[in-house]
Amino acid sequence: MMLDQRNLPDMLLTLDGERIETADRWLQRRRPEILDLFREHVYGRETVGRPSTLEFDTKVTPNMLGGIAVRKQVDIRYEGAGGTGKIRLLMFLPDNGQEPCPAFLLLNNRGAAHMDPEQQAPSPFWPAEQIVARGYAAVVLDVEDADPDFHDGFRNGVHGIFDPSTGERPANAWGTIAAWAWSASRAMDYLETDPDIDAARVAVVGHSRGGKAALWAGAVDERFALVVSNNSGCTGAALSRGKKGETIRNINDQFPHWFNGTYKTYNDREEHLPVDQHMLLSLIAPRPLYVASATNDEWADPRSEFQSLVHATAAYRLFGCKDLTEMNFPHPEEPLLRERMGYHLRSGEHDLKPYDWDRFMDFADQNI
Average pLDDT per block of 10 residues along the chain, 368 residues long: 78 98 98 98 98 97 96 98 97 91 97 90 94 98 98 96 90 98 98 98 98 98 98 98 98 98 98 98 98 98 97 96 84 94 97 98 97
pLDDT for the residue numbered 41: 98
pLDDT for the residue numbered 96: 83
Catalytic residues: 208, 350
Q: What is the 3-state secondary structure (H, E, C) of the chain?
A: CCCCCCCCCCCCECCCCCECCCHHHHHHHHHHHHHHHHHHHHHCECCCCCCCCCEEEEEEEEEEHHHCEEEEEEEEEEEECCEEEEEEEEEEEECCCCCCEEEEEEEECCCHHHCCCCCCCCECCECHHHHHHCCCEEEEEEHHHCCCCCCCCCCCHHHHHHCCCCCCCCCCECCHHHHHHHHHHHHHHHHCCCCCEEEEEEEEEEECHHHHHHHHHHHHCCCCCEEEEECCCECCCECCCCCCCCCHHHHHHHCCCCCCHHHHHHCCCHHHCCCCHHHHHHCCCCCCEEEEEECCCCCCCHHHHHHHHHHHHHHHHHCCCCCCCCCCCCCCCCCEEECCEEEEEECCCCCCCHHHHHHHHHHHHHHC
pLDDT for the residue numbered 323: 75
pLDDT for the residue numbered 176: 98
